[in-house]
Amino acid sequence: MAPALALTRLTLTRFRSYTALTARFAAPIAVLVGENGAGKTNLLEAISLLTPGRGLRGARLAEFARREPDGSTAAAWAVAGRFTTPEGPLDLGTGVEEAGATRRTFLLDGAAPRSQAEIAARVAAVWLTPQMDRLFQDGASARRRFLDRLVWAIEPGHAREVAAYETALAERNRLLAGRADPAWLDGLEDAMARHGIAVAAARRGLVARLNHVLAGGIAGAFPAARAEVACDWAAALDSGPALAAEEALRARLREGRGADAASGTTRIGPHRADLALIHGPKNLPAALCSTGEQKALLVSVVLGHAALIAEARGFAPILLLDEVAAHLDEPRREALFTALAALPAQAFLTGMEGRVFAPLAAVAEAFRVEGGMLDPMALGPALPGASGV
């Protein structure tokens, strides 16, 4: 089945390691092969920037601009994509026009969108990167960002709620560091309560829906994962209405002003939430699993999430899988390739050796990434024992 959402053309201008590039894609799976530092991840990052947020590496705007051979940095950069979508062709671009820009701009079919939610309603992408292998060792903030990206792909308005909550949170912390006006604090805490409970409810809802999909065996040979969100305010929604949770959060924030001022931070709220993944068959937290099992759990979640988006939105997201074969043994690589070939989703995979992806030869197109160029290539002979899909 052809993907309902697919990137057919990608154009880069002074982006990362690329001076200028136009690449076209026709197959449901694109394999990008090259040495370390060739620019494979840069291509996936560029695609990720055609959705709201900071992209798959969470980089600052200045880091996207190409560094010239003389050490200077380009003042402007741009990424543009042409897509097929359920609503017809779509042209989408993003970038900055001058050095020092504080936010990137978007163009949707040549016009500025009303909001990033308008973009999120048309295009979605999910990704898996080697950096995410540390998701279970890093702090809770990384897992929260991962969870919020999963929610955004289903509920584009979630990004506004998170931004509004974090803005009010930062302003409350700033006021508490000085001589805070109680009336201003009342207003900020009211905003935190309203937006914070909306954020907690969206995370709670996503986890429930994802667990339902994962329990149905969508991930095939990958271990069934179970997600849990650790958040007092999500738990409060299990036992009462949202308005009661809002009032409780508002009251707790008011009571905690003195202690928060002394500590320099707001100690309660949805910004303290954490995400846990459980290896279902072993009933073991991901943090206690082997590296290979952790990678398999993340693959399971990404595949389940892609299926959930397709169910909710009518199209599957674009999958960006950077060095996805790392830490997967041969049976799990074959299981992944079989799942990707069956999903109605376009997937971009990177790796150093083409022969790892040889089982995909019948359904994928491959490119060698080198010197800021993409050259079509044939996938090499399969590794011994590998079978095609």
The answer to whether residue 129 is domain-embedded is no
Residue 130 lies in a domain: no
Q: What is the pLDDT of residues 262-279, one digit of tens each?
A: 999 999 999 999 999 999
Q: Are residues 275 and 343 in the same domain?
A: no
* Same domain, yes or no: 232 and 356: no
Task: Decide if 185 is inside a domain.
Answer: yes
| Residue % of the chain over a pLDDT of 70 | 96
pLDDT digit string, tens, across residues 317-349: 999 999 988 778 888 888 889 888 888 899 999
More confident residue, 93 or 218: 93
Whether 22 is covered by a domain: the verdict is yes
pLDDT band of 99, cuts 50, 70, 90 = confident
Comparing 130 with 216, the larger pLDDT belongs to 130
Print the domain residue range for 239: 136-312
pLDDT tens figures, 22-38: 999 999 999 999 999 99
Specify whether 271 is located in the same domain as 144: yes
Residues 120 and 154 in one domain: no
Mean pLDDT of 53-79: 85
What pLDDT is stored for residue 383 in this prediction?
57
Same domain, 108 and 29: yes
The CATH number of residue 285's host domain is 1.20.1050.90
Task: Clarify whether residues 161 and 279 are in a common domain.
Answer: yes
Confidence of residue 283 (pLDDT cuts 50, 70, 90): very high
Structural domain contains residue 90:
yes
Considering only CA atoms, which of 239, 183, 207, 199 is closest in space to residue 304? 207
- For the segment 60-78, the average pLDDT, to the nearest whole number, is 83
Query: Taking all residues of the chain, what is their mean pLDDT, rounded to a whole number?
Result: 90
pLDDT of residue 89: 96
* Residues 330 and 264 placed together within one structural domain of the fold: no
- pTM recorded for the entire structure: 0.85
Q: 68 and 168: one domain?
A: no
- Looking at residue 385, what is its pLDDT? 57
The pLDDT assigned to 43 comes to 97
pLDDT band at 314 (very low <50, low <70, confident <90, very high): confident
pLDDT at 167: 97
Q: What is the pLDDT at residue 180?
A: 79
Structure confidence at residue 147 as a pLDDT band (50, 70, 90): very high
Is residue 37 included in any domain, yes or no? Answer: yes
Question: Is pLDDT above 80 for 219?
Answer: no
Structural domain tally of the chain? 2
Domain final position from 260, 280, 312: 312
Q: Which residue has the higher pLDDT, 375 or 99?
A: 375
Q: 88-102, 119-133, 257-271, 304-318 — which one is most confidently predicted on average? A: 257-271
What is the pLDDT averaged over residues 350-374? 93
* CATH number of the structural domain spanning residue 100: 3.40.50.300
Residue 131 lies in a domain: no
Tell me whether residue 339 is in a domain: yes
Q: Which of 30-44, 137-151, 180-194 has the lowest mean pLDDT?
A: 137-151
Segment 43-50 mean pLDDT? 97
pLDDT at 388 over 90: no
Indicate if 368 and 389 belong to the same structural domain: yes
**For 194-201, what is the mean pLDDT?**
98
CA atoms within a 13 Å half-sphere pointing along the CA-CB vector of 10: 22
Q: Are 299 and 222 in contact (CB under 8 A)?
A: yes
pLDDT of the residue at 386: 58
Domain end point (choices 252, 285, 312): 312
Q: Among 270, 285, 312, which residue terminates a domain? A: 312
Q: Are residues 118 and 227 in the same domain?
A: no
Is residue 145 pLDDT above 70, yes or no?
yes
pLDDT of residue 53: 82
**Judgement on whether residues 387 and 347 belong to the same structural domain of the protein:** yes
Residue of higher predicted confidence among 1 and 116: 116
103 and 240 together in one domain: no
Segment 177-202 shows an average pLDDT of 95
